Protein backbone atom coordinates (compact mmCIF):
# COMPACT_ATOMS: atom_id res chain seq x y z
CA UNK A 1 0.00 0.00 0.00
CA UNK A 2 2.81 2.39 0.82
CA UNK A 3 5.19 1.38 -1.95
CA UNK A 4 4.78 4.82 -3.50
CA UNK A 5 6.93 6.19 -0.64
CA UNK A 6 9.98 4.74 -2.41
CA UNK A 7 9.29 6.75 -5.57
CA UNK A 8 11.58 9.66 -6.41
CA UNK A 9 8.71 12.09 -5.86
CA UNK A 10 7.96 11.00 -2.30
CA UNK A 11 11.62 10.56 -1.41
CA UNK A 12 12.08 14.19 -2.48
CA UNK A 13 9.19 15.22 -0.20
CA UNK A 14 10.82 13.32 2.67
CA UNK A 15 14.15 15.04 2.02
CA UNK A 16 12.49 18.47 2.06
CA UNK A 17 10.74 17.60 5.33
CA UNK A 18 14.06 16.49 6.86
CA UNK A 19 15.81 19.69 5.73
CA UNK A 20 13.01 21.86 7.13
CA UNK A 21 12.99 19.95 10.43
CA UNK A 22 16.78 20.26 10.71
CA UNK A 23 16.49 24.01 10.24
CA UNK A 24 13.80 24.16 12.92
CA UNK A 25 15.98 22.21 15.35
CA UNK A 26 18.92 24.53 14.66
CA UNK A 27 16.79 27.63 15.33
CA UNK A 28 15.33 26.03 18.45
CA UNK A 29 18.82 25.25 19.78
CA UNK A 30 19.89 28.81 18.98
CA UNK A 31 17.01 30.17 21.04
CA UNK A 32 17.94 27.82 23.88
CA UNK A 33 21.53 29.10 23.78
CA UNK A 34 20.28 32.68 23.93
CA UNK A 35 18.09 31.73 26.88
CA UNK A 36 21.12 30.25 28.66
CA UNK A 37 23.04 33.50 28.10
CA UNK A 38 20.10 35.51 29.41
CA UNK A 39 19.79 33.35 32.51
CA UNK A 40 23.54 33.72 33.17
CA UNK A 41 23.20 37.51 32.89
CA UNK A 42 20.22 37.49 35.26
CA UNK A 43 22.25 35.45 37.74
CA UNK A 44 25.12 37.96 37.56
CA UNK A 45 22.78 40.90 38.09
CA UNK A 46 20.91 39.37 41.01
CA UNK A 47 24.15 38.24 42.69
CA UNK A 48 26.35 41.30 42.16
CA UNK A 49 24.27 44.40 41.46
CA UNK A 50 23.25 45.23 45.03
CA UNK A 51 25.95 43.33 46.92
CA UNK A 52 28.17 45.13 49.42
CA UNK A 53 30.93 47.07 47.62
CA UNK A 54 34.44 45.62 47.77
CA UNK A 55 37.66 47.62 47.91
CA UNK A 56 39.79 48.45 44.89
CA UNK A 57 42.68 46.38 46.24
CA UNK A 58 40.38 43.34 46.19
CA UNK A 59 38.99 44.13 42.74
CA UNK A 60 42.17 45.37 41.03
CA UNK A 61 42.64 42.20 38.97
CA UNK A 62 39.12 42.63 37.59
CA UNK A 63 40.10 46.02 36.18
CA UNK A 64 42.98 44.28 34.40
CA UNK A 65 40.89 41.38 33.05
CA UNK A 66 37.28 41.16 34.12
CA UNK A 67 35.89 37.74 34.97
CA UNK A 68 32.41 37.55 33.35
CA UNK A 69 31.02 36.17 36.62
CA UNK A 70 32.12 39.39 38.39
CA UNK A 71 30.35 41.79 36.05
CA UNK A 72 28.13 44.30 37.94
CA UNK A 73 30.18 43.80 41.13
CA UNK A 74 30.22 46.98 43.21
CA UNK A 75 33.66 48.44 43.95
CA UNK A 76 34.53 51.40 46.15
CA UNK A 77 37.15 53.75 44.66
CA UNK A 78 38.97 56.72 46.18
CA UNK A 79 40.69 59.38 44.11
CA UNK A 80 39.93 62.34 41.85
CA UNK A 81 38.46 62.93 38.41
CA UNK A 82 40.61 64.08 35.48
CA UNK A 83 38.09 66.50 33.99
CA UNK A 84 40.42 67.32 31.08
CA UNK A 85 40.16 63.72 29.94
CA UNK A 86 36.36 63.66 30.02
CA UNK A 87 34.63 62.37 26.85
CA UNK A 88 31.07 61.76 25.74
CA UNK A 89 30.18 58.46 24.08
CA UNK A 90 27.84 58.91 21.15
CA UNK A 91 24.86 56.81 19.97
CA UNK A 92 23.85 55.53 23.40
CA UNK A 93 20.05 55.10 23.50
CA UNK A 94 18.25 54.73 26.81
CA UNK A 95 14.61 53.67 27.09
CA UNK A 96 14.21 54.24 23.37
CA UNK A 97 15.61 57.79 23.42
CA UNK A 98 18.88 58.77 21.69
CA UNK A 99 21.62 60.25 23.78
CA UNK A 100 25.17 60.09 25.16
CA UNK A 101 27.12 58.70 28.10
CA UNK A 102 29.79 60.61 30.00
CA UNK A 103 33.09 58.84 30.73
CA UNK A 104 35.81 60.40 32.90
CA UNK A 105 39.25 59.07 33.92
CA UNK A 106 39.46 58.57 37.70
CA UNK A 107 42.96 58.70 39.19
CA UNK A 108 43.11 56.52 42.29
CA UNK A 109 45.10 57.27 45.42
CA UNK A 110 47.32 54.36 44.41
CA UNK A 111 48.36 56.31 41.30
CA UNK A 112 46.54 54.05 38.81
CA UNK A 113 43.70 55.32 36.64
CA UNK A 114 40.38 53.71 35.79
CA UNK A 115 37.42 54.98 33.78
CA UNK A 116 34.04 55.85 35.29
CA UNK A 117 30.87 56.13 33.25
CA UNK A 118 28.94 58.80 35.17
CA UNK A 119 25.57 58.51 33.43
CA UNK A 120 23.40 59.38 30.46
CA UNK A 121 22.40 62.63 28.75
CA UNK A 122 19.77 63.19 26.03
CA UNK A 123 20.68 64.66 22.66
CA UNK A 124 20.88 68.44 22.62
CA UNK A 125 18.48 70.93 21.09
CA UNK A 126 20.96 73.80 20.73
CA UNK A 127 24.10 72.16 19.32
CA UNK A 128 23.55 69.31 16.88
CA UNK A 129 25.65 66.26 17.71
CA UNK A 130 26.26 67.25 21.34
CA UNK A 131 24.27 67.41 24.57
CA UNK A 132 23.17 70.87 25.61
CA UNK A 133 24.92 70.61 28.97
CA UNK A 134 27.48 68.24 30.52
CA UNK A 135 27.42 68.22 34.34
CA UNK A 136 30.89 68.52 35.84
CA UNK A 137 32.10 65.83 38.25
CA UNK A 138 32.98 66.78 41.84
CA UNK A 139 36.43 68.29 42.33
CA UNK A 140 39.04 67.16 44.83
CA UNK A 141 39.06 63.80 46.58
CA UNK A 142 36.02 61.70 45.83
CA UNK A 143 34.77 58.33 47.01
CA UNK A 144 32.90 56.64 44.18
CA UNK A 145 31.03 53.34 44.17
CA UNK A 146 30.95 51.81 40.69
CA UNK A 147 29.72 48.61 39.06
CA UNK A 148 32.16 46.70 36.89
CA UNK A 149 31.55 46.53 33.14
CA UNK A 150 33.59 45.03 30.30
CA UNK A 151 35.59 47.24 27.93
CA UNK A 152 33.72 47.54 24.62
CA UNK A 153 35.04 46.49 21.20
CA UNK A 154 36.44 48.89 18.63
CA UNK A 155 33.85 50.17 16.16
CA UNK A 156 34.67 50.85 12.54
CA UNK A 157 33.50 54.43 12.74
CA UNK A 158 35.01 57.64 14.01
CA UNK A 159 33.75 60.29 16.38
CA UNK A 160 34.06 64.09 16.57
CA UNK A 161 36.65 65.67 18.83
CA UNK A 162 35.81 65.15 22.48
CA UNK A 163 33.65 62.13 21.73
CA UNK A 164 34.11 58.36 21.56
CA UNK A 165 32.36 55.87 19.30
CA UNK A 166 32.42 53.23 22.06
CA UNK A 167 33.96 52.66 25.50
CA UNK A 168 37.02 51.06 23.96
CA UNK A 169 39.46 51.45 26.86
CA UNK A 170 42.75 50.76 24.98
CA UNK A 171 41.80 53.32 22.30
CA UNK A 172 40.71 55.78 25.01
CA UNK A 173 44.06 55.34 26.80
CA UNK A 174 45.97 55.96 23.56
CA UNK A 175 43.96 59.15 23.00
CA UNK A 176 44.63 60.40 26.54
CA UNK A 177 48.35 59.70 26.29
CA UNK A 178 48.64 57.93 29.65
CA UNK A 179 47.90 54.38 30.81
CA UNK A 180 44.50 53.20 31.99
CA UNK A 181 43.44 49.90 33.50
CA UNK A 182 41.74 48.55 30.39
CA UNK A 183 40.12 45.30 31.52
CA UNK A 184 36.98 46.97 32.86
CA UNK A 185 35.42 50.32 33.61
CA UNK A 186 33.00 51.35 36.34
CA UNK A 187 29.40 52.39 35.88
CA UNK A 188 28.71 54.97 38.58
CA UNK A 189 26.38 53.96 41.41
CA UNK A 190 27.12 56.81 43.85
CA UNK A 191 29.81 59.36 44.72
CA UNK A 192 30.74 61.37 47.81
CA UNK A 193 30.68 64.36 47.90
CA UNK A 194 27.85 64.46 45.35
CA UNK A 195 28.01 66.79 42.35
CA UNK A 196 25.63 69.74 42.19
CA UNK A 197 24.16 68.35 38.99
CA UNK A 198 24.20 64.78 37.80
CA UNK A 199 23.53 63.05 34.51
CA UNK A 200 20.67 60.58 34.47
CA UNK A 201 21.52 57.42 36.40
CA UNK A 202 21.43 54.07 34.64
CA UNK A 203 18.45 51.83 35.41
CA UNK A 204 18.96 48.35 36.80
CA UNK A 205 19.38 45.80 34.00
CA UNK A 206 16.34 43.73 33.21
CA UNK A 207 15.99 40.41 34.99
CA UNK A 208 13.19 39.20 32.73
CA UNK A 209 13.90 35.94 30.94
CA UNK A 210 12.09 36.98 27.77
CA UNK A 211 10.52 34.74 25.13
CA UNK A 212 13.48 32.55 24.19
CA UNK A 213 11.98 29.40 25.73
CA UNK A 214 8.61 29.76 23.99
CA UNK A 215 10.30 30.51 20.67
CA UNK A 216 12.54 27.46 20.97
CA UNK A 217 9.55 25.21 21.73
CA UNK A 218 7.72 26.65 18.74
CA UNK A 219 10.62 25.84 16.42
CA UNK A 220 10.84 22.28 17.74
CA UNK A 221 7.07 21.91 17.26
CA UNK A 222 7.33 23.15 13.67
CA UNK A 223 9.96 20.49 12.96
CA UNK A 224 7.72 17.74 14.37
CA UNK A 225 4.65 19.04 12.53
CA UNK A 226 6.52 18.80 9.25
CA UNK A 227 6.80 15.03 9.67
CA UNK A 228 3.21 14.83 10.92
CA UNK A 229 2.10 16.59 7.73
CA UNK A 230 4.22 14.25 5.63
CA UNK A 231 2.64 11.22 7.31
CA UNK A 232 -0.87 12.61 6.85
CA UNK A 233 -0.22 13.26 3.15
CA UNK A 234 1.14 9.71 2.72
CA UNK A 235 -1.92 8.24 4.46
CA UNK A 236 -4.28 10.21 2.23
CA UNK A 237 -2.36 9.07 -0.84
CA UNK A 238 -2.61 5.43 0.27
CA UNK A 239 -6.35 5.74 0.94
CA UNK A 240 -6.96 7.35 -2.44
CA UNK A 241 -4.95 4.62 -4.14
CA UNK A 242 -7.00 1.95 -2.33
CA UNK A 243 -10.28 3.58 -3.39
CA UNK A 244 -9.08 3.83 -7.00
CA UNK A 245 -8.10 0.15 -6.94
CA UNK A 246 -11.51 -0.86 -5.55
CA UNK A 247 -13.33 1.19 -8.21
CA UNK A 248 -11.21 -0.39 -10.93
CA UNK A 249 -11.99 -3.86 -9.56
CA UNK A 250 -15.73 -3.14 -9.51
CA UNK A 251 -15.61 -1.77 -13.04
CA UNK A 252 -13.78 -4.88 -14.24
CA UNK A 253 -16.26 -7.20 -12.56
CA UNK A 254 -19.23 -5.38 -14.05
CA UNK A 255 -17.77 -5.70 -17.55
CA UNK A 256 -17.54 -9.52 -17.44
CA UNK A 257 -20.32 -11.64 -19.21
CA UNK A 258 -23.15 -12.43 -16.84
CA UNK A 259 -22.16 -9.70 -14.41
CA UNK A 260 -23.60 -6.70 -16.24
CA UNK A 261 -26.84 -6.85 -14.28
CA UNK A 262 -24.90 -7.18 -11.03
CA UNK A 263 -22.74 -4.23 -12.00
CA UNK A 264 -25.86 -2.25 -12.81
CA UNK A 265 -27.28 -3.12 -9.40
CA UNK A 266 -24.08 -1.91 -7.71
CA UNK A 267 -24.10 1.38 -9.58
CA UNK A 268 -25.75 4.03 -7.40
CA UNK A 269 -28.77 5.72 -8.94
CA UNK A 270 -28.23 9.13 -10.40
CA UNK A 271 -30.37 11.73 -8.70
CA UNK A 272 -31.29 14.47 -11.13
CA UNK A 273 -32.39 17.77 -9.82
CA UNK A 274 -35.74 18.96 -11.09
CA UNK A 275 -35.57 22.21 -12.96
CA UNK A 276 -37.67 24.88 -11.32
CA UNK A 277 -40.40 26.32 -13.54
CA UNK A 278 -40.25 29.94 -14.53
CA UNK A 279 -43.04 32.43 -13.76
CA UNK A 280 -44.18 32.41 -17.41
CA UNK A 281 -44.43 28.60 -17.41
CA UNK A 282 -46.54 28.67 -14.25
CA UNK A 283 -48.93 31.23 -15.82
CA UNK A 284 -49.26 29.08 -18.98
CA UNK A 285 -50.07 26.02 -16.84
CA UNK A 286 -52.83 27.94 -15.02
CA UNK A 287 -54.39 29.12 -18.30
CA UNK A 288 -54.27 25.61 -19.76
CA UNK A 289 -56.06 24.25 -16.70
CA UNK A 290 -58.85 26.83 -17.17
CA UNK A 291 -59.33 25.84 -20.81
CA UNK A 292 -57.89 28.93 -22.46
222 domain-assigned: yes
Please state the pTM of the whole predicted model.
Answer: 0.67
Residues 54 and 188 placed together within one structural domain of the fold: yes
SS (H, E, C) 176-213: HCCCCCCCEEEEEEEEECCCCCCCECCCCCCCCCCCHH
- Cross-strand bridge partners of residue 90: none
181 and 145 fall within a common domain? yes
Residue 105: inside a domain: yes
The widest CA-to-CA distance across the chain, in whole angstroms, is 128
- One domain, residues 28 and 158: no
Secondary structure class of 164 (helix, strand, coil): strand
Paired strand residues for 25:
none
Number of domains in the chain: 2
State the Cα–Cα distance between residues 99 and 120, nearest whole angstrom: 7
The answer to whether residues 183 and 137 belong to one domain is yes
Report if residue 261 sits inside a domain.
no
* Within-domain flag for 152: yes
For the chain, residues with pLDDT lower than 50 are 262-264, 270-274
Q: 86 and 36, same structural domain?
A: no
At residue 88, the 3 state secondary structure works out as: strand
**Selection from 219, 211, 212, 209 nearest residue 26 by Cα:** 219
- Which range of residues forms the domain containing residue 12? 8-44+214-235
Residues 109 and 139 in one domain: yes
Phi and psi of 118, rounded to 5°? -85, -15
Helix (H, G, I), strand (E, B) or coil at 267: coil
Q: Is 9 buried (19+), middle (13-18) or exposed (0-12) by CB count in 10 A?
A: exposed
Burial class (CB in 10 A: 0-12, 13-18, 19+), 291: exposed
Same-domain check for residues 164 and 34: no
Question: Cα separation of 86 and 29, whole Å?
Answer: 43
- Is 202 within the bounds of a domain? no
Residue 119 and residue 161 in one domain: yes
Domain-embedded: residue 231: yes
Pick the last residue of a domain from 160, 192, 224: 192
**pLDDT attached to residue 221:** 92
CATH of residue 79 = 2.40.50
Q: Is the residue at 266 inside a domain?
A: no
Encode burial over 218-251: b for 16+ CB neighbours within 10 A, e otherwise: ebbebbeebeeebeeebeeeeeeeeeeeeeeeee
- Tens digits of residue pLDDT in 93-116: 998 899 999 999 999 999 999 999
**pLDDT of amino acid 170:** 95
Q: Is residue 283 part of a domain?
A: no
| Whether residue 30 is found in the same domain as residue 55 | no
Q: 3-state class of 111 per DSSP?
A: coil
Q: Which of 192, 227, 247 is the last residue of a domain?
A: 192
Q: Are residues 58 and 40 in the same domain?
A: no
Per residue in 113-157, pLDDT (tens digit) is 999 999 999 998 887 788 989 999 999 999 999 999 999 998 888
157 and 76 share one domain: yes
Strand partners, 103: 87, 117
Same domain, 230 and 126: no
Amino acid sequence: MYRFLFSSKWLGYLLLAAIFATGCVFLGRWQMDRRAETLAEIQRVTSNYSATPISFSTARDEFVQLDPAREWTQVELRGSYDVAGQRIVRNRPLNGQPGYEIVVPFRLVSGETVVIDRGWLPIGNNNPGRPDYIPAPPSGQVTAVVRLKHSEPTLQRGAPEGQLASIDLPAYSAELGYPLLTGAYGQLASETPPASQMPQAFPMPSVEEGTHLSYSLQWFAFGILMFVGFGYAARQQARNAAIDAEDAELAGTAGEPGNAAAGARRRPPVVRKRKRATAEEEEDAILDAQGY
